[in-house]
Structure 1
Amino acid sequence: MMKKSLLFILMIFVFGSVSAQKPTITQQVFSEYVENMVDEMQQIIGFTDSQASQLKEIELKFLLDVQRAENCCFCHSGKRIKKLKENRKADLQKILSRDQYIRYDAILGGRIKKIPVRVEK
């Protein structure tokens, strides 16, 4: 009986680690969403390609972490998500200038419209 239980646990671990290596449909959808969102924001706000690349990583990681927190039955998801939002905010502020961050946050929060930055001559 003990050998069967141990074998069952080992199988779950092995299959779980193999399936974790393949991107899930959710990861693919999140990745595509982040790609489109950051590209659109780049056109509107005008940050660099390097900043865009870093933002894509942060935003994708944030979405995946929030999903994990929401699906965790052992976690206090509200506190975990609040902490993830705080960490995301700090990471965004490290990458974007103050003005860029304010516009980025305002657009995502729906406080301002998505209008490209006008360059004054």
Structure 2
Amino acid sequence: MEHTAANCRAREILDRVGDKWSLQVISLLGERTKRFTELKREIDGISQRMLTVTLRGLERDGIVSRTVYPVMPPRVDYSLTPMGATLMDAASTLVRWAESHLNDIDAARADYDIRTAEAEALKAP
């Protein structure tokens, strides 16, 4: 593929959407609007700071909207924007693919690690 300004910008957006947490956030918000604490509870292993950074990035790119309600204590809801909703098919497909191939990926990693360890052992004096 030819390097152009347009595909460089596309790479920037794909890096955002394809980072460690964004697809999970997009997938969960595709179900319905959620509060921060719901997202934090439903995404195993994400820190509060990382969820904040992820949501801010997705909001900046126009994928997620943040609604603050003037109540005490403050209430904030997150939802997909109309543009973000167009990512649902791709995001859901990728998440389902990953979930359905976890065992295969684990097996491939174990095989690779064994082969690598054996090759290193042969190199050792």
- What TM-score results when the alignment is normalised by the length of structure 1? 0.22
The structure with the largest helix share of the pair is 1
The structure with the largest strand share of the pair is 2
